[in-house]
Amino acid sequence: MKTVILLLSIYLTNAKSIGQEKESDKNIVFIHGAWSTGAVWNNYKNYFTEKGYNTAFPTFQYHSIERNDSLTGVSMEDYVNQIREVLKTFKTPPTVVAHSMGCVIAQRLATEGLIGKMILIAPPANYGMLPPSKSIKSISWVNKVKNLKKNLVKPTFEQAVSGMLHNLPKEKQEEVYSKMTYESGLVMKEMIWIKNLFGQKPNKIKYSKINIPVLFVSGGIDNASPPGISLKLIKKYKSKTELKVFENNAHWMMEENNWKEIAGYITNWIEK
């Protein structure tokens, strides 16, 4: 009788463990990009919650609609440290979905074994990569900011539309822009200055240390992060990668009309 009870106990323990492991596959952390907060993922929040996923939508420090001067001098390394602590709260590495600048943070943390699967939406060029001309043009206004390293930056409405929001209806453009935040000038400098030879290089990725499935999602009419960037990134990876280009999408894919189609594709990729 004791033997039966012992065997039953072992079975139930193992069943519980398997259940927990399966449940861990349903954990997703979403990392937003520049000039945003975790609220940029609101469509995805409802979608993935209804699909049974456990979701987290951290906001980078000092990011809010109101200008916060505490953001001055914050580096990308600070963002990496912040999201690292979020990922460490999971027993097993969660799936990470990142957008734009958030893709850099995701790739950095993937090199540390903290991510199970990774979806990079509209990733920018990493250190050592020459961005396409239209990508450079979309962000050229940043280089005109005086004392960029010790300043905060935010595009004008026209600059935001030209580079990122041009595929949204006018009313939606205004809504999205009203929620955009300031960004650390230092972070922008670290991202876009190709000749950053002597300072920190937080967007320098050790691709050989990333051994997880990676899905690249690009928009065919994205001015800020065109598909060519994803194609260049894929060549640097040795792990299993896939690129999906939505030909009629631009940079702000999470809030464009077919966002649910994109979310569905991501879900199917995660679960296959």
pLDDT confidence of 136, banded at 50, 70, 90?
confident
Per the confidence metrics, is the pTM higher than 0.85?
Answer: yes
Q: Does domain 27-271 have CATH number 3.40.50.1820?
A: yes
pLDDT confidence of 227, banded at 50, 70, 90?
very high
Could you tell me which of 100, 162, 155, 104 has the C-alpha nearest to residue 137? 162
pLDDT of residue 129: 87
Q: Average pLDDT of 44-52? A: 96
pLDDT confidence of 44, banded at 50, 70, 90?
very high
Measured from the Cβ of residue 166, the count of other Cβ atoms closer than 10 Å reads: 16
Q: Which residues of 87-119 are buried (b: 16+ CB within 10 A; e: fewer)?
A: beebeebbbbbbbbbbbbbbbbbbeeebbbbbb
* pLDDT more than 70, % of the chain: 88
Instruction: Return the domain boundaries, the chain.
Output: 27-271
pLDDT of residue 200: 65
Spatial distance between the Cα atoms of 226 and 115, rounded to a whole number of angstroms: 25
pLDDT tens readout for residues 146-199:
889 899 999 999 999 999 999 999 999 999 999 999 999 999 988 876 555 555
Report whether pLDDT(203) > 90: no
pLDDT of residue 166: 98
pLDDT tens readout for residues 77-113:
999 999 999 999 999 999 999 999 999 999 999 999 9
Q: Average pLDDT of 226-240? A: 94
Q: Which residues of 4-34 are buried (b: 16+ CB within 10 A; e: fewer)?
A: eeeeeeeeeeeeeeeeeeeebbbbbbbbbbb
